[in-house]
Amino acid sequence: ILGDAARIPAQGAARPALVGREAIVVVDRLALVGRDPSHHLLVFLGLAQQLCAQSSALTHTLAPARDTIDLSGEWEFRMDPREVGKTERWFDKAVPFDRKINVPSAWNAQGAGYEDEKLLRDYEERLVNGKKLLGVDRESEKLYHVFPGPAWYRRVVTIPREWQGKVSWLKFEGVHRHADVWVNGNFAGSHFSYLTPFEFDIGKWVKPGEEAVISVRVDARRNKAIDPLMGCLDTLDFLYLTWGGIYRRVTLETTARTWIEDLFVVPRVPDKTVELRLTTAGDNTKESRVTAEIIDQQGVIVARGNATILTGTTETTLSIALPNGKLWSPSRPYLYTSRVTLMENGAGIDSRSTRFGMRELKVENGKFLLNGKPIFLRGYGDDCIFPNTIAPPADREEYIRRLSSARDYGFNYARHHSWFPPEEYFEVADELGIMVQPEFPAAYSWDLATTPPEKQFVAEQWEAVIRLYRNHPSIVTWCMGNELYKSFDAAPELYRRAKAIDPTRLVIDSDGCNFDHKNRETLDFLVVQFGEGNSCGFQDAKYNFPSTLAKPVVAHEMGYFVTLPELTQIDLFGKGLRPYWLFQTRALAEKNGVTERYRRWVELSNRLQATCLKSNIEATRRSNLSGYSQWLFQDYPNCAEGVVDMFFRPKGSSAAEFRKFNAPSVLLLDASRRNYYFGETSDLKLLVSRYEDDPSEGAVLRWVLRAGDQILASGKKEGLSLTSEGLQMLMPLSLVMPQRPKAEKLTLAVELKDNIRTVVNDWNFWAFPKKAQEQTANTIMIGEPKALQNLYPSAREEGPGTISPDVGVVITSHLRVETLDYLAKGGRVLLLAPDGNFSTEPTNYRLSSWDGGGPSGTEIDREHAALRSMPNDGWGDLQFFYLIQGSKTIFLDSLPAKVHPLIRCIDRPQRLANRAYLFEVAVGRGKLLVSGFNFAKAIEIEDPAATYLLSRLVDYALGPEFAPKEKLPVEFLSAKVEK
């Protein structure tokens, strides 16, 4: 029977509805394409034969499916900017509407915006009201079509005659934000939340066989006193714009006079049972029975149960044994379907089905246990970013695309900043095995409910949304909001309600807390921020904390590694968000004459991000953390901190590269440093962080040290026993850095192979010759830093008085009058601390954070004589870490000449200033080489890369190739030197 009641699973099997000894295959669409129709028929005959064989011992009375009319599609539409619709009775059928619009969708994304420029400006003036936002102030800069409402929708539909004697429901899955509904000119009611669905029994206004004129007035403006919700669905932070519309499906549905109102499936994993909690509604004056079936992914009924619902009661519970039940997990997301039928007088009058998974996530001894085994949450943040639709679309394919991409990158967990995704999203997450933490729309403490009505509204919505989605196995945590660090007065009551109506999940009152909150009863685990604005987790103690905590710890909003945005994205935007940040950056690049170079800078920025991500995530896996939320997976508007861009295109890391350090099992390196001299021994440790994969014996670990394609050393260790308990030491490894013809990058590649999978990872090292500095020391004069005296012990010490003309180069941290005089007369100076003489900005290695501080990358002139022997790939990889950390970059635009950096600090996209770590200029008859690198600290800790680079700069400054092309007037520096 080809109908619309069921769907063919991806595996090719169909769900059977069984009557006696026959199997009825019910299918909503034939998903077999590209073959001859006769092949389709053979497939279905084979399916039917298998299903009949499976069902020979089963009997069941088929319950009628609820008749449903999907009202998705085209509706009449009319904007009401002057708010006259109610007075003029726009809910009447006779009133003309001037356009058509699609439901579900945001009206802004369909071109509905203010048509009167004065009304737009009046609205924007009221909205801004003196406030300064993070990005731009006016909505017309952030949306292609601005209109907050109200607007009116209308649809005419005929109620089927067959619905006689039943209840007719008009159902709305979601409206942003407030809805008033009329049916045939009669006011049906209002709804004041975009979070939850609502419905009306319309039988009093329209009868079966008659037309129903459905009119809906939607207002997107927030009235906190009525509806205090505020989250990422409302487009926070850099946007804060107002969009509106019927953004979820609208349906007409019929039920019997008694119907199944709610079905909650509680998996009891340790007991191997399933508990069905059933609620009925309507006429309860008769005794009824309920039958239940558990159906596996192949469509086979594997368990059954039944119960009696006594007269006057509405709730009952069934416990059904599932002794051979398969567990749901990210690696094996097995799903069952529970189908419940309500019976009266031996006949089915209503049925309800829901999918579920046998899974249990709990906390024990400071760890997460999924189905009794430790698990690490490899999470990312989802900030509800839909550039072209604005609203989350009611489209399974979109969520398949998004979640499949996240899964390809190795993620198993998604944290939704202050918003709940739609049903289609959760369905896909269930199928793909992505664990999910949706959050109640309470984005920040200043948006919390304050009055008793607001708090009551929040409590009701909190409970309603949990009931709505609690059957999805992908949801593992209920969260009350974002960064409510100190909690709030209503949290204990909301926690109690969540545990009462859903005891199967963890609950936290805030994503964002600190270790002082470890004993807070409303936190089942801790989500802590770890210095994310100033570290990329490289060789520091960023994620160190005591291992004695009773609760798991997850890193809150980890990373914030913001790259330059790719400007070609502009062409991918439609009628939704207006990418003002891309327009601004493009205009700035054109103004500064760097449009062509900008493309290269994006590539270099992405490469630095890839390095920061790898370093940071590996640091979490070596720590006592139980998970993290990488911020973000998808770029945010005005803040390109995603692993992929706004349209899910890869940036600096391919999915395969990213999975090397973001997977159930990852190889890790414990190394004190990455820069070495030739002949030095590096004492390393090779570890594995292993979750989800089963324990194994006889694993083999292989390692190779390469210089390009040349193998320098290799080895292996066999017979390893691998656990599934987290961090495990595999072997110590002592690497002797071989003598090489030149300084170069080396790569350590490691492979771990057992009978389950092969895991690989690799890390870069840099090896340098230890240059004999004394060859040129007698021509050098050293001022600051004093640590240079250790490198050049025979060098002259800079002091007061005139500098002799026989000095080859002066290395100093400040310019004196005497130094400038020496320079003007033809001397050579290497200035290592440009503060005071040039305009500078403190700079660290990691990429800029969301608030704009820090660099966007590094660009190195590899062919320049001063740098060609310094091993690099045209950008500052980790060999430059200690040189860049704590450095000062110099603003070259402030100079009276156009100067080009030898090593550029790529500036943030909002500024694109000409910044340098290293540059050279002629001054008078002399030559000046200026560096903002942190040589003082790097040399103090004996970093070989810093020592080697300094020696190359000194040799360059002494040599014949030191010939700056640009020139600074002596007078410019004379005003800035020490007197």
Per-residue 3-state assignment (H helix, E strand, C coil) for 103-122: ECCCCHHHCCCCCCHHHHHH
**By CB neighbour count within 10 A (0-12 exposed, 13-18 middle, 19+ buried), where does 492 fall?**
middle
Neighbours of 122 (CB within 10 A): 13
The token duo for 759 is: 């895991």
Say yes or no to pLDDT of 422 above 50: yes
- Phi/psi for 570 (5° steps) reads -50, -40
* pLDDT band at 261; cut points 50, 70, 90: very high
Q: What is the structure's pLDDT at 14?
A: 33
- Contact between 932 and 843 under an 8 Å Cβ cutoff? The reply is yes
Say yes or no to pLDDT of 53 above 80: no
Helices 396-408, 423-432: inter-axial angle, 10-degree rounding: 40
- Contact between 32 and 41 under an 8 Å Cβ cutoff? The reply is no
Q: What is the structure's pLDDT at 978?
A: 63
* pLDDT band at 66; cut points 50, 70, 90: confident
The token duo for 436 is: 């999910």
Say yes or no to pLDDT of 181 above 70: yes
Q: What is the structure's pLDDT at 20?
A: 31
Mean pLDDT of the chain: 91
Is 10 strand, coil or helix?
coil
* pLDDT band at 60; cut points 50, 70, 90: very low
Q: What is the structure's pLDDT at 46?
A: 46
Say yes or no to pLDDT of 45 above 50: no
The token duo for 634 is: 């998808």
As a whole number, mean pLDDT of residues 102-120 equals 97
> What share of the chain has pLDDT > 90, as a percent?
85
Of 41-50, 497-506, 663-672, 914-923, the one with minimum mean pLDDT is 41-50
Say yes or no to pLDDT of 35 above 80: no
**How far is Cα 496 from Cα 502, in angstroms, rounded to an integer?**
10
Is 414 strand, coil or helix?
strand
Q: What is the structure's pLDDT at 527?
A: 98
Say yes or no to pLDDT of 183 above 70: yes
Q: Cis peptide leading into 104, omega within 30 of 0?
A: yes
* pLDDT band at 346; cut points 50, 70, 90: confident
* pLDDT band at 131; cut points 50, 70, 90: low
Of the candidates 444, 349, 294, the residue with the CA atom closest to the CA atom of residue 61: 349
Q: What is the structure's pLDDT at 773?
A: 56
Of the candidates 245, 241, 235, the residue with the CA atom closest to the CA atom of residue 141: 241
Q: Which helix (H) or strand (E) holds 396?
A: helix 396-408
Q: What is the structure's pLDDT at 315?
A: 92
Q: What is the structure's pLDDT at 979?
A: 58
Q: What is the structure's pLDDT at 22?
A: 35
Q: What is the structure's pLDDT at 3?
A: 34
> What share of the chain has pLDDT > 70, as a percent?
92
Say yes or no to pLDDT of 18 above 80: no
Say yes or no to pLDDT of 129 above 80: no
Q: What is the structure's pLDDT at 133?
A: 65
Q: Which helix (H) or strand (E) holds 970?
A: helix 970-974
Say yes or no to pLDDT of 15 above 80: no
Higher pLDDT, 396 or 61: 396
Question: Residues 625-647: pLDDT tens digits?
Answer: 999 999 999 999 999 999 999 99
As a whole number, mean pLDDT of residues 833-852 equals 92
Q: What is the structure's pLDDT at 25?
A: 39
**Cβ-proximal residues to 463 (8 Å cutoff; 6+ apart), any chain:** 497, 498, 501
Q: Which helix (H) or strand (E) holds 730?
A: strand 726-736
As a whole number, mean pLDDT of residues 742-762 equals 97
**Residues forming a β-bridge with 369:** 362, 374
Question: Residues 776-805: pLDDT tens digits?
Answer: 666 899 988 778 888 888 889 888 889 999
Say yes or no to pLDDT of 563 above 80: yes
Q: Quick one: three-class SS letters along 509-543?
A: CCECECHHHCCCCCECCEEECCCCCCCCCCCCCCC
As a whole number, mean pLDDT of residues 903-907 equals 98
Is 609 strand, coil or helix?
helix
* Overall pTM > 0.75: yes
